[in-house]
Amino acid sequence: MSTQFWTWIFVILTFGTYITIAWRSRVKDTKGFYVAGQGVPTVANGAAVAADWMSAASFLSMAGIIAFAGYDGSVYLMGWTGGYVLLALLLAPYLRKFGKYTVPDFVGDRYSDTARLVAVVAAIFVSFTYVVGQMRGVGVVFSRFLDTTVTVGIMVGMGIVLFYAVLGGMKGITWTQVAQYSVLIVAYLIPAFAIAGQLTGIPIPHVSFGRVMTELNAIQRELGFDEYSSPFVRNSQLNVFLITASLMIGTAGLPHVIVRFYTTRSVRAARWSAFWALFFIALLYTTAPAVGVFAKYNLLQTVAEQPRADMPAWFDGWEETGLLEHTDLNDDGIIQYTPDEATNELRIDNDIMVLATPEVAGLPGPVIGLVVAGGLAAALSTASGLLLVISSSVAHDFYYRRMRPDATEKQRLLVGRLTMAGAVVIAGYFGVNPPGFVAEVVALAFGLAAASFFPTIVLGIFWKRANAPGAVAGMATGLTLTAAYMVGVLYLGVEPIFGISPQGIGAIGALINFAVTIAVTRATPPPPEHLQQLVDSVRYPSGVDAVTPEEIGR
Amino acid sequence: MTEDAKRAYWRRNLRLMVALLSIWFVVSYLFGILLVETFNRIVINDFPLGFWFAQQGSIVAFVILIGIYAWRMDKLDEEFGVAEARHQRGGGR
């Protein structure tokens, strides 16, 4: 049976599961819609965070980027996991104790309504930057494997998300994400273990990829490339440091990740949720470097210095999508792959590595179908989490908290559902007209999150003296300077300062935010007594009363 | 909860946090980035050690660090009587 047949089977099966789960977890109130009624068990919440977190970028692009960047790809591995340590130790338990619905809720209650507004704008800005990357992921998968146009693929994906996000809000999203995590992790691990066994006889990729890497180093030397494992080839040491830091701080500052810790049953559950989340994420993230090595080794073995006429069917398949390209510069019918632009004949897009690897390794059809379903699960689960943040920012933080505090529960839920549907449609538009490269666009969102939310929230918890003028000034300068540097270097041809890459500027932006918040706070009066009590109340899981007893201390 | 107990609880919390974050910094930024070339001279099971810390070791360490934090904080909450009531069915492992 053909690969495409298997792919359809897996896609239909998994999509059917998501719809069933969504129908069974539909909600009737805003608490269910925004924080799943705060009733999600710890391990399930961990799996949901992991699925929410691991996007099309993690699943489709990351191993590919690492395959081409070698050691320098470590920034993504450390950056996108190390942030959870910050999140678990500095944010999650306190925000859970605070116990409301969104990140702007905390910023607004802790500081002021102006700060809330800045936070709302930042949350929408960051989430939209990020959701764009997911849409392109869905498009790539559908066009290559299901013979549809990108537009049809995105319509189908959006239809599914629309159904479960509008119906079940956070509750529907959480439980579908648990299913999506299961699909994506199985889809990622099976080919990795199979290829590890095939190449080395030891079917545990984490143990055996060192040996393959030694051979890969030798092949790369022969072709004239730097060794795979040698550091600082593409990025300077300074940039590796700064990009890692930006991704870590950004991870801890991303609203769609933070908000997941509002959904647990208690402060204790929030801490353990963070543990399970990173545990589930680490299963994929420790496997990705092995996949990168295997993919590159197999590809170079099959393709480099081989006659074009001998290439297997997958080569033509990917060439049709334009993600793989061979231009026979010297007309010898052989594929030359070199570091020199003038003689290199092969161009490979990072995004295809994970999807192409099972085919390159000659794994059977069902495995390929499973990987496709996994890629879709990763993209859809992240998209839905982000859409919830966008919808709650508009419907809860803006409409309810600012415009219509007297809105009834029913009106609020309706506005929540409508903005959700609106956000899905806009995201779908970006999917059809995608700007740029999945992981790069996503990496910029991290810089923005790092420079805006993280310092403000951390100071709000750990420094009672931090006040509203400080927070507003800090967030605004951090966000503006970071965004300006990114736009300047990427689009306006501004010379990078000290060679700092736009991906690494978020760490500097966060430092600036910290410095500005502290300086402005010092120059202005301390916050009122009831806010200092609020800080006190979030620091202790129980036994310390908060200012708004009806919301906290349940 | 008395003011003294509150201060003591918070100080213990901060001390644990600083200790764990120091390890967090050492395994990733120090071993994996700043000293990577030095560590790469040691090769174990075909892995240069600096590279291994950057792509495997640091991630494993992060998981363990959060586990230790959640476990120690459970103990601390109980010791100071600020653990949440049972009916909240707070998580478990």
pLDDT digits (tens, 9 = 90+) for A182-209: 999 999 999 999 999 988 888 899 998 9
**Cα–Cα distance measured from residue B65 to residue A275, given in angstroms and rounded to the nearest whole number:** 9
Q: Say whether pLDDT at A37 is over 80.
A: no
Q: Which region among A31-45, A79-93, A276-290 has the lowest average model confidence (pLDDT)?
A: A31-45
A510 vs A255, residue with greater confidence: A510
**Could A71 and B51 be called an inter-chain contact, meaning their C-beta atoms sit closer than 8 Å?**
yes
Q: Of A42, A268, A461, which to mutate for an interface test with B (greatest number of B Cβ within 10 Å)? A: A268
Q: In A286-407, where does DSSP find H-type helix?
A: 288-303, 313-321, 353-360, 365-392
In this structure, are residues A366 and A5 in contact, taking their beta carbons and an 8 Å threshold?
Answer: no
What is the average pLDDT value for chain A, to the nearest integer? 85
Name the pLDDT band for A482 (thresholds 50, 70, 90): very high
Structure tokens at A78: 């450390």
| Buried residues in B55-68 as b, exposed as e (16+ CB within 10 A) | bbbbbbbbbbbbbe
Please tell me which residue, A252 or A99, carries the higher pLDDT value: A252
> Measured between CB atoms, does B11 come within 8 Å of chain A?
no
Q: Cα separation of A101 and A120, whole Å?
A: 13
pLDDT tens, B50-80? 999 999 999 999 999 999 999 999 999 999 8
Closest CA to A318 of A281, A349, A278: A349
Q: What pLDDT is attached to residue B91?
A: 40
pLDDT of residue A554: 33
Q: What is the pLDDT of residue A331?
A: 85
The answer to whether residues A235 and A246 touch, using CB atoms and an 8 Å cutoff, is no
Interface residue B4 vs chain A (CB under 8 A): no
Q: Which residues contact A320 (CB under 8 A, 6 or more apart)?
A: none
Tokens coding A273: 């949720």
pLDDT at A316: 84
Q: What are the structure tokens assigned to A30, written together?
A: 């805003």
For residue A195, the number of C-alpha atoms closer than 13 Å in the C-beta half-sphere is: 32
Cα-Cα-Cα-Cα dihedral sign, residues A110, A112, A118, A121: positive
pLDDT of residue B88: 46
The 10s digit of each residue's pLDDT in A359-381 is: 888 888 888 888 888 888 888 88
Helix (H) / strand (E) containing B43:
strand B43-44
Report the pLDDT value the prediction gives residue A481, as an integer from 0 to 100: 94
Contact (CB, 8 A) for A3 and A369: yes
Which chain B residues contact residue A241 at CB under 8 A?
29, 33-34
Give the whole-angstrom CA distance, residue A353 versus residue B51.
21
Interface test with A, best of B62, B65, B75 (most A CBs within 10 A): B62
* Cα B1 to Cα A542: distance, rounded to the nearest angstrom: 10
Secondary structure, 3-state, A447-499: HHHHHHHHHHHHHHHHCCCCCHHHHHHHHHHHHHHHHHHHHHHHHCCCCCHHH
3-state SS class at A20: helix
pTM: 0.89
The C-alpha of A99 sits at a distance from chain B's nearest C-alpha, in angstroms, of 14
Question: Are B76 and B12 in contact, with CB atoms under 8 Å apart?
Answer: yes
Burial annotation A38-49 (CB, 10 A radius, 16+ → b, else e): bebbbbbbbbbb
- Window from A27-36, A137-146, B32-41 with minimum mean pLDDT: A137-146
The helix (H) or strand (E) run that includes residue A324 is strand A324-326
